[in-house]
Amino acid sequence: MEHIVIIGNGIAGITAARHIRKLSDKKITVISAESDYFFARTALMYIYMGHMKFEHTQPYENWFWKKNRIDLINAFVTKVDSENKKLLLQDSQEIKFDKLIIATGSKPNMFGWPGQDLKGVQGLYSKQDLELLEVNAPNKDVCKRAVIVGGGLIGIEMAEMLRSRDIPVTFLVREESFWDIVLPQGESQMINEHILEHHIDLRLNTNLVKIIPDENGRTKAVTTDKGETIECNVVGLAAGVSPKVDFLKGAGITLGKGVKVNEFLETNIRDIYAIGDCAEQHQTIGNRRPVEAVWYTGRMMGEALAQTICGRRTPYNPGHWFNSAKFLDIEYQTYGWVFPEGSKKEYEEHFHWRHPTEKICITVAFHKDSKQLLGINTFGIRMRHEIVDRWLTEKRGIGYVMEYLKDANFDPEFYTRYEKTIVAHFNSTFGTNIITKKKSWKRIFSNA
Amino acid sequence: MKAIKNIGLLIFLVGLGIFALLPLTGTFTLSGESLQTVLKEQNIQSELFVTEMENNVVGKEFNGIGALSSKVTSALENTNAQHRKNKEYNKIMYTSPHDMAATFAKISGEGFIVSNKILMWFLTFGLAIIGALLFILPNVILLGKKGIKNDGIYHENATNKGWIAWLVFIFLVSFYLVLYFRPEYAVNWTYTLDPLSQWLSGNPAGHWFVYGFMYSTVMSVMAVRMYIKYRHNTYQMVRTTSVLFFQIVFAFLIPEIMVRLQMPYYDFKNIFPLDFDFFFQWNLRSLLNSGGIGLFILVWGIVLTLVVVPVMVYFFGKRWYCSWVCGCGGLAETLGDPYRQHSSKSLFSWKVERWLVHGVLVFVVGMTLMTLYSFFTQSGTVIGIKTQSVQSAYSFLIGAIFAGVIGTGFYPIFGNRVWCRFGCPLAAYLGFVQRFKSRFRITTNGGQCISCGNCSTYCEQGIDVRAYAQKGENIVRSSCVGCGVCSAVCPRGVLNLENGPLKGRINPTEVLLGNDVDLMELVNKKS
C-alpha cells in the first residue's frame, strides 16, 4: 500500500489527508511537533482571550483520526532524504515514504533587530507561541506594557488579545496608516480610529530600532526611530511570516522563499509536494502572490493535491480571491481585488461609502472604462460569497452590482440595511440613476 | 464602575441570602377556626384526621416549618392508612401530604414575616433585583465598544464550572426540589408575594405563584444583561424582547387575570406535548365545565398543536417557538446565556440526545392516547396498565425531575438547554418538521469558514456547527432552536439564519467555493 507522509498538521496538511482518505485507501501518516491533533490556528487568540479552551479549537474529536486510519506522529522532522525516500526524526527514528507532502507552514519574521532574541520577545503563530504569551503576559501586573511591532493582521490580533486582559499596548506600525499596503485609504483610516477607540496606543510611521534588555536578559524597553524609548515587558513581533523550510536545506529540493512548486504543487523532486504557507509558486496565479500565507489557500491546495495524489493530476486553480478578517469589533470581507492607492492599477476606479457614525464602510473596485466589477471590500457588512463570486465570474458591471446589491447582503435578520444609502451615494457620485432591486431568492439560488 | 459592580453583587447576595434563609424561619400556630376553614375548602371527610390535628397541632406554636410539617404529614398518612384498612375510601385524602402541610402552614403563619410582607419582599426580591441590576448595568461601559464580547468566559470561575458555578448548581437544584417536593418550605416566600397576588387574582400567593413571579423577574433582569451584551445584534434584541413579552404577559399575567375573572387558569402559549397534562381528565373536565371560554381553550390548544406548529415551523423553523415564545427557552436564553458554552458537542451526546428526546415524545404520546381512551371509555386501565400510574410517572420523571430539577438546575454544568435538547417532547415534534419540511436553515457563507470553533462552542444545543460550516454546507438540524448566537459569534460572518426556499436547503459540497476544480468531471469520475 502506498504510504503518504505529510509533514505538518495545519489546515493544508490535514485537508490533504482527509481528502486522500475520502478518495483512496492509502496509508497516511501526519507528522507534527506542534500539537497531537489538528487545531485551528486562527482561533489561538480566542484561547488567550478566554472565549474558548484549546480543545474547542480542534475541529475533530480525538477518535476521528484512528477511525479514519490517519496515523499521527508527534515528532520533529530534522532531515528529508529524498533519494532514499525517507525522513529522519529528532529521536533518530526513520520513516519511509512513497509520497511526501510538505505542509510545514510559516514562522514569524525577524529582521535582525538588536535584542530580538531576548526573553519576552515573541511572535504569534504556533501553539507554543501562545503558551509563551501566557507566561510572558498573564496579566497587567506581570506585563505592565507590551509593544507590538508590525501593522498587519497578527499585530492587531495580539493587541486585541492583550487588551482583553487590560494590558496597555503600544502598537508600532511602519506604514503611514494601518495595513495600507492592502487596504484603501478610507478603510485603513477607519481601522486607525477603531484601534484608538480600543485604547491601543497606535504609533504610525514608526519603526523599531532596538530592544533593550534588563539585567536578567529580559526585555525592558524598546527604542523607536522617532527617538523614543518605551518601557515594556513584552515585545510582540508581528511583521509578517515566512515559510518554515530551513530543515529542507541540503535535501535537493529547490527552495526560494519557500518550497518551489509548479501549478500541480509538485516540487522539483518526483513524489514530493508542498502546500500551504510554505509553498511558493514558480508562476504567480493572477494577482496572487507566489507565497500565500492564508487559511483558505492552504485548504484549497490540500483539496487539489489530494486529487493529484489519488491519481487524477489536478492543478491548483484557485477561483476569485477572497479573504476575511476581524479588526477588534469590525468584520472585514474581501472578494476579488481592491488595491490600495499605492499599488492600484491605472484602470482601477473605486467607489467608497462610509457610514456617518458607525464603523461600517464598503469599497467597490471597477474598471474605469469597461465598468467591470473588480472587487468588493466590506467592513461591518457581511456579503454573500456565492453572489459576489458569481458577479466576478460573469464580469458584471458596476451598475448591475449596485442594482442587485441587496442579493449579496448576508447580515443577520433585523439588521439595518444600507443598500439604499449606498446606491444613493453612488448615484450622486457618478451621476447615475440606479434603483436597487428587491432581494430575490430566485436569483440567489439560480445556480443551485 | 468595578466598585458599583461589587456593591451590586454584595446587595444581591444579601437579598439572595435572606431569601434562602426564609424557609427555615417563622412561627406557625394553627387556630381551630383556621382548621375548620381548610377542612371545608379541601372537603375533608375524615374525623380521624380532624381529631389528630386537634390533638397535635391546633393551638400549639411551631418554630420553623419542619416541626409543623412532620405533624401534618404524619397525621395525613396515618389516617389514610387507617381508612384504607377500613375500606372507607370516601374518607381518604388524595392531596399529597406536603401540599397539605403547605396549606396548613400558609394559614397558620404569624409574626414578623407575615405582618411585614412588603418589607420582606423588598429584603428578598427587592434587594436581589437592585443588586443584580447594579452588577449588570456597568457593563454598558465596561464591555467597551459594541460587538461580541466573550472575553474571560473560560477564565471565570462562574462560567467555567468553578466553585461559584457549583454553588449556583446546588442553589438551583435545591430550589426546584423544594418547589416540587416540599412546597411547605416555600410558605414564607409566598407571604412576600401575597399583596401582588391579591391584587392580580384576588387570591393569596401559592408556591407556584412564587415560581411564576421569580421566573418573570429573573428573566427580566437577565434580559437587561442580554440587551447590553448583544446590543450590536438586532436579532438578539428583538428575540429577547419577544420571549420576555410572552413570559410576562402570557405565562404570568393573563392566567392570573383569568382566575380573577372566574375563568380557568391557562397559559395560551403552552403547547401540547410540552403541556403534557392538557388532555388529563381533570383539565378536560375543568375546561368543559367552564362554558364558552373553556371550549375556546380546548379548541385553541388542539389547533396550536395540529395546525399552528407545522405551519409556523414550515415558514420560520422551530425557532419561532423555542427561542421567541417558549418559557423554558426564555429562561434558557436569559438566565442560561452565561452557561451556553457547556453543552456537550461530542458525537456520543448527539446519539444520547436523539434516543432520549424522541423517547420522551413517544412516552408522552402513548400516555396521552391512554388518557383519552380512559376519558372516553371511563375505564381506569388500558391493557392492564393503570392510566393514572403512567401519568404520575410522567409527571414525576419528566415534568418535575427532567424539566425542572435537571433542566434548569444543571445550567451551570451541562449548559442551558439540557431540557430542550434531551427532554422536551415539543422540541422533538417541532424538530421533525424543521428537519424535513421547513424553509429554515443556517446558511454557510461559501468557503469563508476558518474552523475556529466559536460557533460550536457557543451553540447551546450542542450542535457541532463548525462541522457543517467548514464543509460549506447549510446546517439543517432538528435540534437547532435558531437562537442566532453562532451567527453572532462568528468572526468571519460565515453563518446566517435564513428562511429561504425549501429547494437547495440541503447542499452537500464536494469542494468548497473558491477552488475552481471541474466539479462535473469530479462527479462523473465518481460514478
Cα separation, B345 vs A52, in Å, equals 13
Rounded CA separation B278/B282 (Å) = 9
What average pLDDT does the segment B327-343 reach?
Answer: 97
> Could you tell me if B493 and A333 are in contact, meaning their C-beta atoms sit under 8 angstroms apart?
yes
Q: Report percent pLDDT > 90 for chain B.
A: 92
Residue B504 lies in a domain: yes
Chain A CB contacts of B453 below 8 Å: 40, 43, 46, 52, 56-59
Do residues B272 and B308 make contact, with C-beta atoms less than 8 angstroms apart? no
Query: In this predicted model, what pLDDT tens digit does every residue of A211-257 receive, in sequence order?
Result: 999 999 999 999 999 999 999 999 999 999 999 999 999 999 999 99
Mutate one of A52, A191, A288, A358 to test the B interface: name it (highest B CB count within 10 A): A52
Minimal-distance CA residue of chain B relative to A446: B504
**Residue ending a domain, choose from B63, B93, B110:** B110
Q: Which of B470, B497, B503 sits opposite A412 (nearest CB)?
A: B497
Judging contacts by C-beta atoms under 8 Å, the chain A residues touching residue B515 are 299-300, 303-304, 317-319
Please identify which residue in the block is written with the cell numbers 508590525. A150
Would you say residue B451 lies in a domain? Answer: yes
**What grid cell was written down for B2?**
468595578
The answer, yes or no, to whether residue B518 has pLDDT greater than 70, is: no
Of the three residues B110, B127, B159, the one that is the final residue of a domain is: B110
Output the domain CATH number for residue B443.
Answer: 3.30.70.20
pLDDT band of B527, cuts 50, 70, 90: very low
| In chain B, residues 105-164 whose CB comes closer than 8 Å to chain A | 144-148, 150-156
Q: Do the domain assignments include residue B88?
A: yes
Task: Report the number of distinct structural domains present in chain B.
Answer: 2
The residue in chain A having the minimum alpha-carbon distance to the alpha carbon of residue B338 is A51
Lookup: cell for A269: 523532486
Cell reading at B456: 460550536
DSSP code for A412: P
Q: Kindly identify which residue of chain A lies nearest to residue B509, measuring between CA atoms.
A: A448
Q: What is the mean pLDDT of residues B60-76?
A: 94
Cis? peptide before B273, omega within 30° of 0: yes
The Cβ of residue B266 has, within 10 Å, a number of other Cβ atoms equal to 24
Per-residue pLDDT, B508: 82
Instruction: Determine the pLDDT at residue B514.
Output: 77
Question: How far is the C-alpha of B174 from the C-alpha of B166, rounded, in Å?
Answer: 12
Buried b (16+ CB within 10 A) or exposed e, A147-174: bbbbbbbbbbbbbbbbbbbebbbbbbbb
ipTM of the complex: 0.95
Q: What angle do CA A420, A354, A440 make, to 5 degrees?
A: 30
Residue A64 region by backbone torsions, left for phi larger than 0, else alpha for psi between -120 and 50, else beta: alpha
A261 DSSP β-pair partners? A281
Reduce the DSSP state of residue A379 to 3 states and report it.
strand
Of B110, B125, B155, which residue constitutes the final position of a domain? B110
The reply to whether omega before B97 is within 30° of 0 (cis) is no
pLDDT in tens, B176-213: 999 999 999 999 999 999 999 999 999 999 999 999 99
Residue B462's domain spans which residues? 439-526
Decide: helix, strand or coil at residue B476.
coil
How does strand A201-203 pair with strand A169-172? parallel
**Which residue, B237, B458, B417, B256, is CA-closest to B322?**
B417
C-alpha cell at A400: 448591475
Cell numbers placing B285: 373536565
Q: List B440's β-bridge partners, or say none.
A: B499
CB within 8 Å: A11 and B451: yes
DSSP state letter for B428:
H
Residue B478 belongs to a domain: yes
pLDDT in tens, B295-315: 999 999 999 999 999 999 999
Local structure of B497: helix, strand or coil: strand
CA of B456: which chain A residue's CA is closest? A56
Please name the residues between 309 and 328 in chain A that touch chain B, using a CB distance below 8 Å. 312, 314, 317-320, 322, 324-326, 328
Which among B155, B452, B516 has the least Cβ separation from residue A57? B452
Distance CA A273, CA A279 (A): 9
- Residues B496, A382 contacting (CB under 8 angstroms): yes
Q: How far is A7 from chain B (nearest CA, A)?
A: 20
B503 touching chain A per CB within 8 A: yes
DSSP line for A182-222: TS-HHHHHHHHHHHHHTT-EEETT--EEEEEE-TTSBEEEE
- pLDDT in the model for residue A38: 98
The mean pLDDT of B155-169, rounded to a whole number, is 96
Residue B509: pLDDT band with limits 50, 70, 90:
confident
The residue ranges of chain A whose pLDDT is under 50 are none
**CB contact (8 A) between residue B153 and residue A40:** no
Interface-testing mutation among A48, A56, A139, with chain B (most B C-beta atoms within 10 A)? A56
Please indicate, yes or no, if residue B490 is contained in any of the structural domains: yes
Chain A CB contacts of B144 under 8 Å are 198
Q: Give alpha helix (H) positions in A268-407.
A: 295-309, 385-393, 398-403
Locate the chain A residue with the closest alpha carbon to B491. Answer: A326
Cβ pair B500:A319 closer than 8 A: no
Each residue of B128-157: pLDDT tens digit?
999 999 999 999 999 999 999 999 999 999
Question: What is the grid cell recorded at A440?
Answer: 430575490
Q: Is residue B406 part of a domain?
A: no
In a domain, B350, yes or no: no
Q: Give dist(CA B47, CA B36) in Å, integer.
A: 12
Evaluate if residue B519 carries a pLDDT over 70: no
Q: Is residue B95 part of a domain?
A: yes
